[in-house]
Amino acid sequence: MTSVRAEIRAISKLKLAEDVHKQKQEEAAMLAEALLDAEVRLGELLKQIPKKQGKRTDLQPPDTAVGKLETKAGVIDDIGFSEKQAERMETLADNKDLVEFVKEEARENGDIPTKTRVLELAAQKKKKGSDDYGGYLNLHIKVCKEFDKIINGIDKFEVTDYRMDALFENFDGATKLNDTVKYIELAREKLLTVITELRKAEKRAKHA
């Protein structure tokens, strides 16, 4: 009885740890989403700053604070951001649809949405053209889900003598073993084709 109680306590602690982990994961995801939204808003504000102010700066000494603030770069530096940081936030502001996509993608995968992921998609969008990039993202989700389902199914399928004997019992006069083997071989050929095409896609990405 003592050992049973000990097991119950261990299980309870494990369940509590899982619950705490889930809660912290959700909190981290919420904070990451809020941070992305804040950076989008900052990007919108930064985009409103003119690259050059209207006042003449040639009358000011080049190293004075006044002269510095006459340019957008000077304003950005004055508020504590680098030009690269500002550029990234403006990219987020220009791609609100991708920000929402990344947030939704992270929710589905139990992950944390990141600025890096948004910028990565924005770069792809720029390369592929923005006309139907939404359709491309939907295709990306659909294909990845289909592929993961197939690979996970194969990975989880246990192959043992006992299970193969049980499977063999399925083959009778109506279902021929040779016909099924042909389907398996065709599936194997398709998987090999997928590997080949993924290697080609990898090379295209490296040379893009």
pLDDT digits (tens, 9 = 90+) for 119-146: 988 888 887 776 667 777 778 778 888 8
Give domain status of residue 167, yes or no. Answer: no
Q: Residue 189 and residue 194: Cα distance in Å, rounded?
A: 9
Residue 23: strand, helix, or coil: helix
The number of folded domains in the chain is 1
Q: Report which residue type is found at 46.
A: L
Residue 159 contacts residue 184 (beta carbons within 8 Å): no
Give domain status of residue 118, yes or no. Answer: no
pLDDT digits (tens, 9 = 90+) for 77-88: 888 888 999 999
Q: Residue 158 and residue 167: Cα distance in Å, rounded?
A: 11
Residue 18 domain boundaries: 1-94
Give domain status of residue 86, yes or no. Answer: yes
Give domain status of residue 68, yes or no. Answer: yes
Q: What is the pTM of this model?
A: 0.59
Give domain status of residue 1, yes or no. Answer: yes
Q: Report which residue type is found at 108.
A: E
